[in-house]
Amino acid sequence: MVTTLLFVVSFLLHGVTVLVLIILATRMKRAEDSEQNQKQATEEIEQLFSAYLMEIKDENDRLKQLLEEASPVLPKVESERMEAKVHVPVDHIAVDEQDQEDIKHGKVNTYQPPSPDVQDTVEVSLNTKVARLHQEGFSAEEIARRLGRGLTEVELMLKFNR
């Protein structure tokens, strides 16, 4: 009787142990699959970046060639920038005597913020334009054609927006 009870307990413990081993094996398999998927996604992104960079390089080379054809001798850029001096009458600014002296000698920046009459313009980013067109059902090729961008660039933006 005792021996039978010990056999039953032993079988139950072995069954639980096998079940735990199966659960651990399935979790390990899921982790490996997840890691493999992540590596694959990383490789795809790297390939897209490489293609995008090559496309940009080609466009830059074409632009450089067009500029060289248009103007074979480009003017040299001066190393020092010319700074424009802004003259603001001192009587329009509330400052103390020391600041007035500094302004007269050109030691203080007389910056004035822009007037509030100027209307701000809002420009939609390229990424937003691509996302909107994709949501409207356009393919990557159609989006690239409409926006005048490279197909690789549009595919890269769509990949990052997922």
Residue 81 φ/ψ, nearest 5 degrees: -90, 145
How many Cα atoms occupy the beta-carbon half-sphere of 25 within 13 Å? Answer: 6
HEC assignment per residue over the chain: CHHHHHHHHHHHHHHHHHHHHHHHHHHHHHHHHHHHHHHHHHHHHHHHHHHHHHHHHHHHHHHHHHHHHHCCCCCCCCCCCCCCCCCCCHHHCCCCHHHHHHHHCCCCCCCCCCCCCCCCCCCCCHHHHHHHHHHCCCCHHHHHHHHCCCHHHHHHHHHHHC
How many Cα atoms occupy the beta-carbon half-sphere of 45 within 13 Å? Answer: 12
The CA distance from 54 to 73, in Å, is 27
Name residue 93's amino acid.
I
pTM: 0.35
Per-residue pLDDT of the chain (162 residues; tens, 9 = 90+): 889 999 999 999 999 999 999 999 999 999 999 999 999 999 999 999 999 999 999 999 999 888 888 776 544 443 334 444 445 554 554 556 666 676 666 665 656 776 777 677 778 889 999 999 999 999 999 999 999 999 898 988 888 887
Token look-up 């039978």 returns 4
Q: What is the pLDDT of residue 25?
A: 96
